[in-house]
Amino acid sequence: MMKWQHQDLANGRWFELNFIEQMGNVGSEVERSIKWKEKGNQEQSWGAVTRFIELIFLTIQDPKNKLKLKEMCQVKELFLDFIIGENQYHQTKEQWQRYFYQFAYAARRGK
């Protein structure tokens, strides 16, 4: 059985959040993983990547997000290629920041 870093979220609390809030939280881990990788701290970066994987999988599993499944799967694939793969899609940190900024902004505004 997998040991979740976000045990309370895995136990159902994640599904109480709306999609915007979920993606805002996913984006926080994206931001952390990029920041730590740039600072050369692979251990911290990998920790954030692991939390990203956990949160994006919880988001994918949430039944209310089924119409966004394709987008979430693409986010997972593209980001993992960017942060730990060969970056075959030529993504930049600025692109990731712009993508997730919309969710963070909307979540703060309560949308």
User: How is the chain split into domains, by residue range?
Assistant: 17-109
* pLDDT tens for each residue of 32-91: 999 999 999 999 999 999 999 999 999 999 999 999 999 999 999 999 999 999 999 999
The pTM of the full predicted model, rounded to 2 decimals, is: 0.88
pLDDT at 109: 82
Rounded Cα distance, 15 and 17, in Å: 5
Phi, psi for 2 (deg, rounded to 5): -75, 140
Rounded Cα distance, 37 and 10, in Å: 26
